[in-house]
Amino acid sequence: MLMRMKPAMLLVACGLLAAAASRADQEFSQEDASSAVHAYIDAKVRQDGSFRYKDQQADALLELDLDGIRLVRRIHGYGFFVSADFHAKGEPAKPYDLDFWLKEDKPEIVDVRIHKAPKREGEAWKLVTRNPVPWWWIPATEHPGETEEKKSWQVESAVNEYVATKAKDGVLVLKDDKTGEQRTLDFVEIHRPLRRIEGGSYFACSDFREHGSTDKFYDIDFWLTEKDGQLAVTEARIHKEPKNEDGVWVQVPRYNFEKEKVKDLH
């Protein structure tokens, strides 16, 4: 998830992005996307000495050095996706593959995700695809053409954008509909499969970690509806909350699903 930069670093980033941004009257290109990612990474390195990325799935703060940008793809209607090769700082043989998601019409980064992470095999490191794979790789595996219903990756993209834009410094603040408290949460992953609910709406389930914790997880449900061809999150609700049982945090459901309807538990 994205982390806040100091004002001075933001000025540096803005300066590096000026060439791309000044061409707002032109179509944003793959070259612009690549330049935007380079600018973002350079600003972070100037600030921190390396590219720092919080790996929520592994609960680790990574310090990375850029090797280069390998691939830039575009999914029309969703944006540009820049794949960059990194290695762990001080460990050139320990590689990482990170994806940067940018808006389609301007050099603005929406989210950063790990696509492949290193796994030790003997004395060497091997890049292994992280599961679940980022949703923007799924369209490449599907048959072309439109379908009557939205595809799962389209639902996932809407949830991902909602979380990325609502979060501040990588932390999503969600009001607990049961207690009224504000929960501070770190995004981990979206569950698959995603579902369509009778009546035309869509549903996605996800995992979040309580901010500052290592083992307290919440299961958050998202409901989405389609308007003018675009999916939007209309509700986010805690499905399962962490409870301590015999010294171990486990997820306990607040409600169950029965025949596509939500039933609260006592």
Question: What confidence score (pLDDT) does residue 26 get?
Answer: 62
CA distance 200 to 203: 10
Ranges in the chain, pLDDT < 50: 1-4, 20, 22-25, 143-148, 262-266
Question: What confidence score (pLDDT) does residue 11 get?
Answer: 52
- Quick one: which of 251, 219, 260 has its CA closest to 238? 219
Question: What confidence score (pLDDT) does residue 2 get?
Answer: 44
CA distance 142 to 147: 11
CA distance 89 to 62: 9
CA distance 6 to 17: 16
H or E element in which residue 262 lies? strand 261-264
β-bridge pairing 201-210 and 60-75: unpaired
Angle at 174 between CA 107 and CA 113, to 5 degrees: 40
